[in-house]
Amino acid sequence: MVVVPSISLPPAELSCIKGVRHYEERLMFLLLALDHPDVHLIYVSSLPVDPAIVDYYLGFLRDPRDAAGRLHMISADTPGPDTPGPPSQSQSQSLSQALLDRPDLIHRVRALLAETRTAPGAPGIHESPAWMVPWISTDLEAELARLWNLPIYGPSAAHAARFGSKSGSREAGRQAGVPMPRGFADLHSLAEVEHAARALSGRRMIVKLNDGYSGLGNAIVTRSGHSLADSPTSFSAARETWDKFAKKICERGAVLEEYIEQDLVSFPSALVQITPNGRAEVIATHDQVLGGVNADLYQGCNFPSRGEYRAEVNGCALRIGRVLAGKGVIGLFGIDFFVVKTDGGYRALLCEINLRIGGTTHPFGAMLLTTGARFDPVLGAVAADGRPKYYTATDNCASPSLRGSTPGEVVRRVEELGLGFDRRSRTGNVLHLLGSVPEHGKLGFTSIADSPEEAMALHRKTHLALGSAL
């Protein structure tokens, strides 16, 4: 695998996320795949990953030394969009663009691929499949894959741009016949949004930029006066204004939807996989934990989603997955829903399709690879040794007391407190975003246990131990 976790999205919203450049580390759980002796992995990042973080993940494996020999960490040494100071071209540059500007790094990856395929005892080049695993697929990632002569495990750039957008999500939902909030798509000016708003009867509505990330492209409007721009508006991104937001609508497109608030129960997300042979399946469902001023920013998740509506979410997600598979989409991606309570039970409404690696991917992958869990058809759950596994995960454990600590110090602290991962019971915490600790005092972790109550209790205890409030 060649892992390119480039967050190739507009930098305006990304700059609002503390430590966003270290979000490239969320795919570090893929290092756990090195437990298989035939796997070789090249991991590219904007900034060098602290060796203590690499050692932490290799420490989960049966033979860390052998795995280290099959791992190559490459850094483009580019700052991220959260770097302090005035914006510059380098700070807003994505990892993928930085790689394309560095022929030496392109050549280095190509040479490593050739070396791996011709190593003594290795299969022949045509027998040794290799994949590029991006965080998101854009034209930049497509060009990297072309230069390395690798297939991408993920949707094409065209598919990601269309069906990973808010407008494309509504199109796929309509074709799949799944319920959605009332609304309008493919709006490209504030005038079009204003016109669409007149067709909605509710007092509150939400405008969502097509390529907004983690809820940061959203604006909740309470209708008042003659226009939306004159109405009270709560922007999810800090320092946003209608003048700037209207420009983004013109550049990137948007949708307008009714704001769901009555009988709203939860915000589940389905993790869907479409294999290269075109088979779509739902491999997990989560209940998302949201925060921020509009309660629409991803903070973490609980696995699995509640049983009362899990089948409803599964069914809707599978129908969408089959529609996308029919269009040639492959890869792993998330589909977010609203769940509302009705007289007849629960109803899932499509929120959006994130046709990329999402916030629930790394905790699910970490749980599978650390516990060896698999779906058990008898139990109807993901289980290891016949015991179902549950977890609570966060991307936002932040504490001033952690700032200035090294990743290695945090790992040792967690282990000494007995909050690390126990290989015998296959329970405990798996840490991520450790690179964000020194500067921002922030990390993430996945608390794995044998019941939802135990997972939540471990999660709370870990927050408390690290000096972070839930």
CA dist 181 and 170 (Å) reads 9
Q: State the angle between helix axes of 242-252 and 190-197 in degrees (0 to 180), rounded to the nearest 10.
A: 100
Which residue's structure tokens are 């529609």?
A: 323
Give the pLDDT confidence score for residue 331 in this predicted structure.
94
Give the pLDDT confidence score for residue 119 in this predicted structure.
53
CA dist 322 and 329 (Å) reads 9
Which residue positions in the chain have pLDDT lower than 70? 12-16, 78-92, 117-128, 469-470
CATH tag, 264-465: 3.30.470.20
**Which tens digit of pLDDT belongs to each residue from 49-108?**
999 999 999 999 999 999 999 999 999 985 444 444 433 334 568 999 999 999 999 999
On whether the pTM is more than 0.85, the answer is yes
Could you give the C-alpha distances from 148 to 26, 67, 98, 152, in angstroms and in order? Answer: 23, 23, 15, 11
Phi and psi, residue 138, nearest 5° = -130, -175
Give the pLDDT confidence score for residue 213 in this predicted structure.
80
Could you give the C-alpha distances from 406 to 25, 78, 168, 353, in angstroms and in order? Answer: 15, 21, 42, 36
Give the pLDDT confidence score for residue 175 in this predicted structure.
98
Residue spans per domain, the chain: 2-155, 182-258, 264-465
CA dist 356 and 211 (Å) reads 12
**Which tens digit of pLDDT belongs to each residue from 247-287?**
999 999 999 999 988 888 899 999 999 999 999 999 999 99
CA dist 245 and 253 (Å) reads 11
Q: CATH topology for 182-258? A: Dna Ligase; domain 1 (3.30.1490)
Mapped onto helix, strand or coil, the DSSP state of residue 10 is: coil
The size of the chain, in residues, is 470
**Which tens digit of pLDDT belongs to each residue from 196-210?**
999 998 889 999 999
Give the pLDDT confidence score for residue 264 in this predicted structure.
86
